[in-house]
Chain A
């Protein structure tokens, strides 16, 4: 091939994709891995099981979460220090960033993809941003009681009908914010939901918002299709029970697994995973595991549930067979496993091992190790299929 031809081909490629790193590849096979100690993330390729780029300068990511734009091209990174960054994962660069609070826990994106909401500890409240520009549109201070105090906001989720729903830790309240007019949110408040809601999830169908309670046993459930009924208590026995077992890491509720008729929940403080009928919300089984569960996540087809654990037994991952309701596998991907993420159809799972500085990829059918990727203190792994899921 002559030089002219090569130049021609190169020019054509440039015209087609505009930018070398955009290529012809869509983003559906990509994802983001948080590197919690260095304020950086890696853009990864699920099919190649490879890292494509590192993006730095994202602040304190010691607790971080990500939501995706509807087209799965942009990742919104919520940092511990109140940083909100918008990353173009196709171009592998940060396109917008704001430090919007002093201490932040996570966020959510609206169904229409136009709004990003951030839940803040300090100053307590929720801020609503334009997803395109990160312009601040409005703020909902989490002021409660009569002394003008602001609660830490936890468990924020997008809810059907153009709403965000979240919980107020110190106030024992759940608020539903209607953001049809994002500059003037209308907030409906539900009090006495139970002591100290510390995290929450919305079921994958968007129907139920469920908050975990730290200050007492049980969970608060709000039916998003019947807000007038208000929150009710479910699983009254759920929690630490009479023994009040110490908890060395708060379980994450957003990872809760729904598989078939069951929901799988981390027992609080106990070395067990609870199996609950998700229609009656009654406990049907308790599966002993090797430590205090943190994430309890279902493979997308619902046949397996994968569990990771709190300090000090946090270097093991265990797998539950849903049909048999028992453990079928224990793996040691590395030291201090913090998170797991399935591919969209669940054939593979990526696991972050913080203190081994690696991400390990397994085949979920035979538990074979497929790849290891170096990463600096990796924590959360977020694949782009989340762009199309309610509550993620």
Chain B
């Protein structure tokens, strides 16, 4: 059990390793990503991200969750639930950037 957990953590690190927090996708892509989160993630999590059929994605709801595992959830989905993998549409760096924005509180438009 412990070994399995350790392995998971390792895998998580291996996958997340090249991701530097705060990597900047560029202003135009950032706008696209914010729209993607609000509109398309929003179809389950709510456009205001307060939750729907999927859980809330507000800073309060995500505060205690490790960013790496959230990034992996975006990329790979969550098997056994409705959460699909978004890897076909966002890069690892972009997923990490989304998590950072969500934990901080998503702002619209470019900053």
| Chain A positions near chain B (C-beta within 8 angstroms) | 36-37, 60, 62-63, 80-81, 102-103, 105, 121-122, 152, 154, 169, 198, 214, 244, 246-250, 311-312, 336, 354-355
**B52→A121 contact, CB < 8 A:** yes
B 69-95 to A, binary, CB cutoff 8 A, 1 in contact else 0: 000000001010010110001000000
B 32-48 to A, binary, CB cutoff 8 A, 1 in contact else 0: 00010001101110111
Closest-CB distance, B36 to chain A (whole angstroms): 8
Given known A-B contacts A60-B47, A80-B46, A198-B53, A311 and B82 have beta carbons under 8 A apart: no
Given known A-B contacts A62-B46, A80-B46, A248-B40, A103 and B51 have beta carbons under 8 A apart: yes
Given known A-B contacts A169-B53, A354-B39, A247 and B46 have beta carbons under 8 A apart: no
**B48→A60 contact, CB < 8 A:** yes
B65 on interface, CB distance cutoff 8 Å:
no
Q: Hey, which chain B residues are within 8 Å of A81, CB to CB?
A: 48, 50
| 24 A–B pairs (Cβ distance < 8 Å), ordered by A | A60-B47, A62-B42, A62-B46, A63-B52, A80-B46, A102-B50, A103-B50, A105-B52, A121-B51, A121-B53, A122-B51, A198-B53, A246-B77, A247-B84, A248-B40, A248-B84, A249-B43, A250-B82, A311-B43, A311-B89, A336-B39, A354-B39, A355-B35, A355-B39
**A63→B46 contact, CB < 8 A:** yes
**A249→B82 contact, CB < 8 A:** no
Given known A-B contacts A246-B77, A246-B84, A247-B84, A37 and B53 have beta carbons under 8 A apart: no
Q: In the complex, A153 Cα to B1 Cα: how many Å? A: 36
Size of interface on B: residues with Cβ below 8 Å to A: 19
Closest-CB distance, A99 to chain B (whole angstroms): 13
Closest-CB distance, A254 to chain B (whole angstroms): 15
Closest-CB distance, A250 to chain B (whole angstroms): 7
Q: Which of B48, B79, B85 contacts A62 (CB 8 A)?
A: B48
Residue pairs across A and B with CB atoms within 8 Å: the count is 57
Known: A60-B48, A105-B52, A311-B43. 6 other contacts (CB 8 A): A62-B48, A80-B47, A81-B50, A198-B53, A246-B85, A249-B40
Q: Look across to chain B and name the residue whose beta carbon is closest to the beta carbon of A312.
A: B89
Given known A-B contacts A248-B40, A311-B40, A62 and B47 have beta carbons under 8 A apart: yes
| Chain B positions near chain A (C-beta within 8 angstroms) | 35, 39-40, 42-44, 46-48, 50-53, 77, 79, 82, 84-85, 89
Closest-CB distance, A106 to chain B (whole angstroms): 12
Q: Which of B46, B47, B50, B89 contacts A37 (CB 8 A)?
A: B47
Closest-CB distance, B88 to chain A (whole angstroms): 8
Q: Look across to chain B and name the residue whose beta carbon is closest to the beta carbon of A215.
A: B80
Query: 8 nearest interchain CB pairs?
Result: A62-B47, A246-B84, A311-B40, A249-B43, A246-B85, A248-B84, A247-B84, A60-B48
Q: Hey, which chain B residues are within 8 Å of A249, CB to CB?
A: 40, 43
Q: In the complex, A71 Cα to B90 Cα: how many Å? A: 48
Q: Hey, which chain A residues are within 8 Å of B51, CB to CB?
A: 103, 121-122
Given known A-B contacts A63-B52, A103-B50, A122-B51, A214 and B43 have beta carbons under 8 A apart: no
Q: Hey, which chain A residues are within 8 Å of B44, CB to CB?
A: 250
Q: Which of B47, B84, B89 contacts A36 (CB 8 A)?
A: B47
Closest-CB distance, B8 to chain A (whole angstroms): 21
Q: Hey, which chain B residues are within 8 Å of A250, CB to CB?
A: 43-44, 53, 82
Q: In the complex, A56 Cα to B47 Cα: how many Å? A: 18
Given known A-B contacts A62-B42, A62-B46, A62-B48, A247 and B53 have beta carbons under 8 A apart: no
Closest-CB distance, B82 to chain A (whole angstroms): 6
Q: In the complex, A60 Cα to B82 Cα: how many Å? A: 23
Q: Hey, which chain A residues are within 8 Å of B40, CB to CB?
A: 248-249, 311
Q: Which of A103, A244, A336 contacts B52 (CB 8 A)?
A: A103
Closest-CB distance, A149 to chain B (whole angstroms): 15
Q: In the complex, A355 Cα to B38 Cα: how many Å? A: 12
Q: Which of A36, A152, A355 contacts B53 (CB 8 A)?
A: A152
Q: Hey, which chain B residues are within 8 Å of A103, CB to CB?
A: 46, 50-52
Q: In the complex, A244 Cα to B77 Cα: how many Å? A: 12
Q: Hey, which chain A residues are within 8 Å of B84, CB to CB?
A: 246-248
Q: In the complex, A63 Cα to B44 Cα: how many Å? A: 9
